[in-house]
Structures are given as structure tokens and as C-alpha cells.
Amino acid sequence: MFKELNPLLHSELRLAVMSVLLGVESADFVFLREQTGATAGNLSVQIDKLQKAGYITIEKGFKGKMPRTTCRITEDGIAAFEEYVTALRSYIGKGI
Amino acid sequence: MTHKHLNEAESLELITSMIQDTRARLARNTGTPFLIWGYTTIAVSLFNALTLYLGWSHSWAWSWFAIPIIGWIGMILFNKNEPSARNYIDRIVSMIWVVIGVSFGWLMTGIVVFGGSISYLTVVVMGIGTVLTGCVIKHRITAICGWIAMFASLIFPTVIFIKSQSGSLANISDNWIWGELIVFAAIFFCMMVVPGHILNHKYNSKADSLCSKS
């Protein structure tokens, strides 16, 4: 029996954002945009979806005079990510 | 990158590459703080050695304060160009150097009041920071350079002992006034500049190769 893949994470950009945030304590919007190569508008929409699901937190602030959006992965986000990877492995392991 | 749906193999591949790329990017320029502080300290030390050798006014000793000023300006400029993401290791290394810096200031106050070898104390304290940094980032050469510097710091109390002895060794102590600063600069070269360049070479070439692959 295959585990169901989390549809929120099973999308290229959202999965990339979660993978980046998993390896850092925090990352700002510019860093995420550079790492994923996404457009600002698209990234903003996907980050918003992840935040609404409770997978990441978003903190608005300033770096000098420039506005800065800092993202962090939450405990729920880590748990969802682990579950997603376990589900992926079950697919790969069964020859798909 | 879009929000298209991936197959299972592509998902795993994306996760792996994103984690690797992020790690490589954060490790880029790891050695630069070592180079900023190392080269600044060496330049100011050699300048002070020169002023002592040429017998200039002791007022030039105020130039030692150029180290924190140049160092902090360098660090501000460096951090301005760095990616705005931090991992656990960055935070630990930063905290190590904050504690080392505060402890150093505290110990310097004691040295000024009660006396002692500033060179010895500086090399030991900075050596501890270098060894700890090498251990945290799992870079053996950095840790070894720190240990070598701490071992070399014994030169300073040894010369103080020699200076206290009379006789044939007295000639050594005559040149030690400026020679101490040359030795100090040489130790800093080994402790900070060497690991700084090795770290940058290692991690920057790693990051470049990952970037060219992706």
C-alpha cells in the first residue's frame, strides 16, 4: 500500500523552499528566490500557501532601510516533510 | 522554477540538490573573517615593529586600535554581501567569537592593570577561538593551525624568562622589542591567514562546481 503524497509539498517550488529551509535556521526572501530561481511573484504565492498550512513562519522586518521577509520552517513543517520523504521512499522502493 | 508537479524520483532529486546547494552556498567564504582579522593584525603588528625598529615616538602604539576599527568595518562590508540565511553552525561560530572577543577585552583590562605579556595572551585566546572554530566546522587544518599557534605562544614567556637572565643571552633581548611583533605577526599568519585561504579555496571551489552543475 502506497502512502499518499502530501499535495502541498508535491510541487516543485514549494518542495524546493521547504528543502532550503530544512537546512537553515532562517532564510530571507531574496535568498530563497536566488536558491530556487523562481520569480518574486510566484515565490510569494507559494510561501503564503506554506505559511497558511503552518509549515513555515514569516517575519517581516528591515535590514538597514530595506524591507526584509524572513522565513523559518516550523515543527509541523519538519514533520510534514519527513512524512513526505517517507512516502516518496515507499514509492521508489516499490519500483516506481 | 515553477509550481509544477513532479514525479517521485524528481522530488527526491530536487530535495537532495537543494540541500546540497544551500549547504555549499552558506559555506562559501567561510575563511574570509579569518583573512580580514588575520591580515589586519599582521599589517598593524608589522607597522608597530617598524616604528619600534626606527625608534619613532611611542604615540604610534595607538595604531593598535586600528585592528578593531578596520576589522569591524571589514566584517560589516563582508556581511553586507553575504546571503541572508543562517544555519546552526554559523550561529555557533559567531557565538564562539563573541565570547572570545568579550573575554579578550576582559583579560586585556587585567593585563593593563596587573601586567603580563599581551602577545602571549592574545595568541592563546585567539588560538582557542581558532581551534574551537575548526572543531565546529569539522576542518582539521584550521584546528591544527590554532593548536600550533597556541604552542608557539610559549615563545613569549620563554623570551621573558631569557631576558630576566644575565650574560650571553642578553643580546637576544635587545632586538626583542620589535622582534616580538614580527613573531606575533608570523603566528597570526599561521593561525588565521593560512586556514582562511584553505577554507575559502575548499568551499568556494565546491560551491562553484555545484553551481555549474545546476
What are the pLDDT digits (tens) for A14-27?
999 999 999 899 99
Structural domain contains residue B4: no
**Contacting residues of A for B91, CB less than 8 Å apart:** 25
pLDDT per residue as tens digits for the range B122-177: 999 999 999 999 999 999 999 999 999 999 999 999 888 887 776 555 566 666 77
CATH node for A12-91: 1.10.10.10
**Contacting residues of B for A24, CB less than 8 Å apart:** 22, 26, 85-87
For residues B33 and B93, is the Cβ–Cβ distance under 8 A? no
**Contacting residues of B for A37, CB less than 8 Å apart:** 1
Domains in chain B: how many in total? 1
Q: What's chain A's length in residues?
A: 96
Range of the domain at B38: 21-213
A30 touches chain B (CB under 8 A): yes
Closest of B89, B82, B29, B87 to residue A22, by C-alpha: B87
Q: pLDDT under 70 in chain B at which residues? A: 1-5, 83, 166-175, 210-214
For residues B128 and B119, is the Cβ–Cβ distance under 8 A? no
Judged by CB atoms closer than 8 Å, whether chains meet at B5 and A13 is answered as no
B211 touches chain A (CB under 8 A): no
Structural domain contains residue B189: yes
Which pairing describes strands A66-73 and A56-63: parallel, antiparallel, or unpaired? antiparallel
pLDDT per residue as tens digits for the range A55-73: 999 999 887 778 889 999 9
**Cα(B211)–Cα(B170) distance, integer angstroms:** 59
* Confidence (pLDDT) at B63: 92
* Distance between A20 CA and the closest CA of chain B, angstroms: 6
* Distance between A52 CA and the closest CA of chain B, angstroms: 17
* Distance between A81 CA and the closest CA of chain B, angstroms: 10
What percent of chain A has a predicted confidence (pLDDT) above 90? Answer: 62
**Contacting residues of B for A73, CB less than 8 Å apart:** none
* Confidence (pLDDT) at B4: 65
Structural domain contains residue B16: no
**Contacting residues of B for A46, CB less than 8 Å apart:** 3
Q: Which of A14, A20, A62 to mutate: most B Cβ within 10 Å?
A: A20
- In chain A, the residue whose alpha carbon lies closest to the alpha carbon of B1 is A38
